[in-house]
Structure formats: C-alpha cells, structure tokens
Amino acid sequence: MDKPAAVTTPFRNANEREQERAAKRDAVLRAAVRMFNQRGYHNTSLDDVAASLGISKPLIYHYLGAKDQVLFECLRIGLVRLRGSAEEAAALPGTGLERLRIFLRRYAEHIMDDFGRCVIRTGDEALAPESRKQFRALKREIDQELRRFVQDASNDGSARISDIKLTSFAFIGALNWTARWQDAERDLPPGEIAERLVNILIRGISPHS
C-alpha cells in the first residue's frame, strides 16, 4: 500500500511556535534594555518599548509581564552571563593568576554589553521584593567567585596579594565603571578595552612587576 503524500500545511508545529515566541521575547528584552540604559528605567515606559517595536503594550505583558518583571529579566540575563564567565574560567587549566585574568577579561566584555550595562546602571530598588532577593543573591555569587579566583592566585604564588577583599573590590570597581563610560560608537571595541584594562589590573599583583 502506497504511503499518503506529504501534506503542505500553513500551520506551524509546536517547535516552530516556540522558536517564534522566543525570538519575539528576545526582541522585546533587547529593545527594553537599550532604552533602560539610554533613558533610565524610570524614564522609560512599556509604551515606549512597544512603540519602538511597532507592537502593542499588552503583547509585552503577554511575553514578559509588568515593567518591573521586564527589568528583572534584563538584569537576570546580565548576571547569568557574568556568572558564566566565572564558570568558564574555573574549568580551565593554568595558574590561579591565569584563570583570574581570563575571568576578568570575560567579565569586562560582558559588563559592556547591553544586559551587563543594565546591571550596573539600574538599581534594584525598582524590583519586587522576591526579584530583588534573587538579584542580590546572584550578585553575591559573582562577588564570591571573584574572591575565590583572587585567593587561588595568592595561594599558588602566581600573584602577590596582601589583601584579598580590597583587591577584589578594586578589580570589580574598575571593571564595573566601564558600563558607565564606555561609548560603543567612539571608543575601542569592548574586547580591546577589556584586554588593556585587565592588563593594567593584573600588572599590579604580578610577582614580576
């Protein structure tokens, strides 16, 4: 018995519908995070975000929820990427200083992208209590990972560090500040800025400096 011929259908299957939904959600988040960074969270409305995409505000509610939920998702993406920098560096071979350098480089690059920039430029006071709790927990994880890298570099002798806590604060402060001064249109590419800045920071703790 012959198999029935395949039928061409205009209807999307479940996988296609999910991909389309994810693409639309991503577009909303990218538009929102850029406006939050440029105008400030409180000066940006969901109407502004919707207008920039040519969609209705209810569609944003459908994909992401209220404005504070949109903000939390932007912040969460930024923090997850920063945490991923630590996970990537920790899995690599080499000395403590080499892994620290890789982590700082990846961290710096992420902090200069739209979502990383939002983490630095937007305070967590606009978040709902539960979201604020999750945001702060993720930030603590990243801070702890940095201190662990600094401690490892000190322990194995690949770096000369007299104060783990202050060194970590100095590194994170220098890198976070790029989210405020770096201009994508006028400055060097983020990767080059990250490389130069991290070289300066690492030079200060190198046992050969």
- CB 179, CB 107: distance < 8 Å: no
Query: pLDDT averaged over consecutive 10-residue blocks of the chain (209 residues)?
Result: 59 72 91 95 95 93 92 96 94 95 96 95 89 94 96 96 95 94 84 95 86
pTM of this prediction?
0.86
- CB 109, CB 191: distance < 8 Å: yes
**Which pLDDT score, from 0 to 100, does residue 116 have?**
95
> Which two tokens mark 58?
């209810």
User: Rounded to an integer, what distance in angstroms lies between the CA atom of residue 106 and that of residue 64?
Assistant: 28
- Write the CA distances from 129 to 10, 72, 134, integer angstroms: 44, 11, 9
* Domains along the sequence of the chain with CATH: 13-65 (1.10.10.60), 66-203 (1.10.357.10)
* CA angle centred on 64, ends 42 and 136, rounded to 5°: 65
- CB 76, CB 138: distance < 8 Å: yes
**Which pLDDT score, from 0 to 100, does residue 209 have?**
60
CA 183, distance to chain mean position in Å, is 17
User: Rounded to an integer, what distance in angstroms lies between the CA atom of residue 132 and that of residue 164?
Assistant: 27
